[in-house]
Amino acid sequence: MNDSVAATKAAASVHADRRLRLAVSMREGVAIVPTAPERVRNRDAHYPFRFDSYFHYLTGFTEPESVLVLVAGDAPRSILFCREKNEEREIWDGFRHGPDAARAKFGFDEAYPIALLDAKMPELLSNQPMLHYAPGADAAWDARIMGWMNAVREKVRLGISAPASIGDLRVPLDEMRLVKDSAELATMRRAAGISAIAHRRAMQAARPGRYEYEVEAELLYAFRRHGAQFPAYTSIVASGANACVLHYVGNDAPMADGDLLLIDAGCELDGYASDITRTFPVNGRFTGPQRTLYELVLAAQSAAMAETCAGKGWNEPHDAAVRVLAQGMLDLGLLAGSLDEVLEKETYRRYYMHRTGHWLGLDVHDAGDYKLAGQWRPLVPGMVLTVEPGIYVRPGEDVPQQYWNIGIRIEDDVLVTSAGCEVLTHETPKSIADIEALMRDA
């Protein structure tokens, strides 16, 4: 077996294994998992196709117009519906596996042309006790699936029954996706490495007078240059006061000498997101007030990371970051009162209004509940999350003027391990000394 055949077989077995685990957790019934639709952007121009994350997790199959059907029970079967080979379409749009090759390469038990889906599904749902899918995720699929259910119900007088209950497939799948396997972690480490290269490139490209979009272009170049297919989300390249707009994506302002530049950008590699924020001076040298606030956010991030380990609750990194930030806001005259008061009344939210992280994986805000039975869930090895405290100071009469319009966030991607945590994005410069050194040498 050559290396690429061996890699394909290994990947197929990872996905087959996930399908089997899902079938075991379903116990009985039929699961339906369509991939995402192709979407028109404007006349004849499409958005780049991005598969559905659940579908990809279970198949690794990247073609549009595909549906996975999983039949649970004593001998679980996985069935793919996909596009047929079509010489004409392949001349225009490129290669299609077709059902036979897809079945063999991706390890399905059966595969059929997507055109047979409506004919075959009532058969596959007949006499099954339960239907599992993602109700409400897509109105068109809801209607189509209910059409199949009704087609089965029409056969009641032939002694055929339709599934009596419907389960939300996202419940077991989200739990599975929350704990990454080694194949996922390998991809996520590579995605993080590419995003780190991109952020370094951005730091080296920033100069007073250049435009934010010129730096965005460097990020996009590095993502693609190193094999990532997409940005995982729209990059935020926000200089000066723009950094205080949390979802700023205009990226069209000239960058001023003396301002900071906040970049929140990460690539998607083979379906997996990375998510990094760095904030650095446009001219390569932090001013005194910028340095003060930057060190505060960095200290908050260290405190949060120290709480990011197996056994800690989801909220503990956030609470640790908030405590450090709140004390800093008091020390710097941004807030008045006692620490207890600031925490109790949440007055720190004037300058820190978001949470300190989220799950990360196939989606940048990845699948998975944050509470179990009303309690923040404990972290377990294999979970990947971001740690991203920040501070955003808008002008105000009661706000020390030296901090006006400074917005800082520092965000890393972190894997929970049994010993603590591994920072997947560690190759992205973060200390003031490392950032200034890199920019000096640019």
Decide if 297 contacts 325 (C-beta within 8 A).
yes
Q: Which residue, 266 or 281, is less far from Mn ion as judged by CB?
A: 266
Assigned token pair, 123: 């058969």
* CA-based nearest residue to 264, from 248, 252, 241: 248
* CA-based nearest residue to 64, from 51, 54, 76, 55: 51
CB of 10 to ligand GLY, least distance (A): 31
Residue 184 binding partner per list ligand GLY, Mn ion, none, with a CB distance cut-off of 5 to 8 Å that depends on partner kind: none
> How many Å apart are CA 201 and CA 217, to the nearest integer?
10
Q: Is 8 helix (H, G, I), strand (E, B) or coil?
A: helix
Could you tell me how far CA 14 lies from the centroid of its own chain?
20
Residue 211 binding partner per list Mn ion, ligand GLY, none, with a CB distance cut-off of 5 to 8 Å that depends on partner kind: none
Binding string, 320-359, against ligand GLY, x = CB under 6 A? --------------------------------------x-
CB of 408 to ligand GLY, least distance (A): 14
Q: Which residue, 267 or 435, is less far from ligand GLY as judged by CB?
A: 267
> How many Å apart are CA 124 and CA 152, to the nearest integer?
9
Decide if 328 contacts 348 (C-beta within 8 A).
no
Question: Binding residue for Mn ion (CB under 5 A) from 65, 264, 307, 366?
Answer: 264
Could you tell me how far CA 149 lies from the centroid of its own chain?
33
> How many Å apart are CA 23 and CA 316, to the nearest integer?
34
DSSP codes joined into one string, 69-110? EEE-SSS-EEEEEEPPP-HHHHHHH----HHHHHHHHHT-SE
State the catalytic residues: 44, 247, 264, 275, 354, 358, 365, 388, 392, 409, 411
Applying CB under 5 A, what is the total number of residues that bind Mn ion? Answer: 4
Residue 363 binding partner per list Mn ion, ligand GLY, none, with a CB distance cut-off of 5 to 8 Å that depends on partner kind: none
- Here the contacts of 122-127 (C-beta below 8 Å, separation 24 or greater) are 122/148, 122/151, 122/152, 122/155, 124/30, 124/69, 124/71, 124/79, 125/30, 125/149, 125/152, 125/162, 125/163, 126/152, 126/155, 126/160, 126/161, 126/162, 127/160, 127/161
Q: Which residue, 130 or 423, is less far from ligand GLY as judged by CB?
A: 423
CB of 14 to Mn ion, least distance (A): 26
Q: Is 231 helix (H, G, I), strand (E, B) or coil?
A: strand
Residue 350 binding partner per list Mn ion, ligand GLY, none, with a CB distance cut-off of 5 to 8 Å that depends on partner kind: none
Q: Which residue, 99 or 266, is less far from ligand GLY as judged by CB?
A: 266
Question: Binding residue for Mn ion (CB under 5 A) from 52, 270, 275, 363?
Answer: 275
Assigned token pair, 385: 């999350």
Applying CB under 6 A, what is the total number of residues that bind ligand GLY? Answer: 7
- By CB under 6 A, residue 264 contacts ligand GLY: yes
CB of 47 to ligand GLY, least distance (A): 19
CB of 231 to ligand GLY, least distance (A): 10
CB of 234 to ligand GLY, least distance (A): 9
Decide if 387 contacts 317 (C-beta within 8 A).
yes
- By CB under 5 A, residue 218 contacts Mn ion: no
Decide if 34 contacts 142 (C-beta within 8 A).
no
Q: Which residue, 309 or 410, is less far from ligand GLY as judged by CB?
A: 410
- By CB under 6 A, residue 364 contacts ligand GLY: yes
CB of 314 to Mn ion, least distance (A): 15
Residues 399-418 that bind Mn ion (CB under 5 A): 411
Stretch that binds Mn ion, among 216-224, 267-275, 297-305, 372-380 (CB under 5 A): 267-275
Residue 233 binding partner per list ligand GLY, Mn ion, none, with a CB distance cut-off of 5 to 8 Å that depends on partner kind: ligand GLY
Question: Binding residue for ligand GLY (CB under 6 A) from 65, 268, 275, 316?
Answer: 275
Residue 404 binding partner per list Mn ion, ligand GLY, none, with a CB distance cut-off of 5 to 8 Å that depends on partner kind: none
> How many Å apart are CA 55 and CA 65, to the nearest integer?
11
| 248: Cβ contacts below 8 Å, ≥ 6 apart | 236, 238, 242
Residues 207-246 that bind ligand GLY (CB under 6 A): 233
Amino acid residing at 49? F
CB of 232 to ligand GLY, least distance (A): 8
Residues 344-403 that bind Mn ion (CB under 5 A): 386
Residues 373-402 that bind ligand GLY (CB under 6 A): 388
Interface residues toward Mn ion, by CB under 5 A: 264, 275, 386, 411
Interface residues toward ligand GLY, by CB under 6 A: 233, 264, 275, 358, 364, 388, 411
